[in-house]
Homo-oligomer: A and B are copies of this chain.
Amino acid sequence: MEIDIKSKILIVGLGLIGGSYARALKKKGYSVSAITRRQSSIDFALKEGIIDYGTIKPEEKLISSADIVVFSLYPHVFIDWIEKYGKYLRPGTLVTDVTGVKESIVYKIQDMLPEGVEFIAAHPMAGREVYGVENSDERIFKGANYIVTPTEKNSSEAVEKCLELGRLIGFEKLSVLSPREHDDVIGFLSQLTHCIAIALMTCRTDEHLEKYTGDSFRDLTRIARINDEMWSELFMLNKNTLVHEIDIFEKELDKLKKYLETGDVESMREMMRFSTERRAKFDKKTD
């Protein structure tokens, strides 16, 4: 399903991801507007030609004229926004998002929207450790994964259109998962990895360790630079799953520790060979 080149796209929340979406869609020839909190973000985006129009006010005219609206906000801000301004959305508009958790927000948002406005959630699996539209770059999506998480309320047309949006933006692998499946895999692939990076970064605080480190520690802690406001919210919204993933991981690490303690070198090596073989699947095409 093609997305009509005349479609008016509105980005709500013009940060790193919202800004990168805007860049990608502008380059494809779409008309892109933005509503965001800081005037400086709008000024920057207009100056850079990332958007055609932008405002810090949730203008009814702008909202009701959009064909596709992409929300790139913290979960609770997203819900507040829909509560206040969702009524301005016109029937026929397709609403999507980039939120990192799904089960706790997708059904809620779908229930809140006016009749005829369809919300189809999506999660771009890309990011950087920097923030703001000033750091936006559509190339972060090159070779990256994109997950659409429909519910039984969604039409197959909306699913197709949302997948096409991902394709347009430049994602490599497009997938469809239920909100629950999404939160399960993301609890493991993304949230657990952030917890590990944080714990690794904070468990030893002796000075000068940076003088002795190699790239492995740098790689494992890259994401230890973390937006505490956003991630603590995402963690809490997927709490039970994340606690379960931490347990699974620690059990496996304990297994390796046991092999070490008992000198079971053969089992250790078998685990390493399996790890090596399995890792090969996870390379990005652009690596």
Contacts and interface: CB of A to CB of B under 8 A. Distances in A.
Interface in A198-221: 198-205, 209-221
A112 interface: no
Interface in A174-226: 175, 177, 182, 185-186, 188-190, 192-205, 209-226
A209 B193 contact: no
A181 to B, nearest CB: 9
Contact of A246 (B239, B246, B253, B281): B253
A216 B190 contact: yes
Number of copies: 2
Interface residues of A, number: 87
Given A202-B275, A203-B249, A263-B236, A213 B269 contact: no
A48 interface: no
A268 B235 contact: yes
Interface of A: 125-127, 144-145, 147, 173, 175, 177, 182, 185-186, 188-190, 192-205, 209-226, 228-229, 231-232, 235-236, 239, 242-243, 246, 248-257, 260-261, 263, 265, 268-276, 278-284
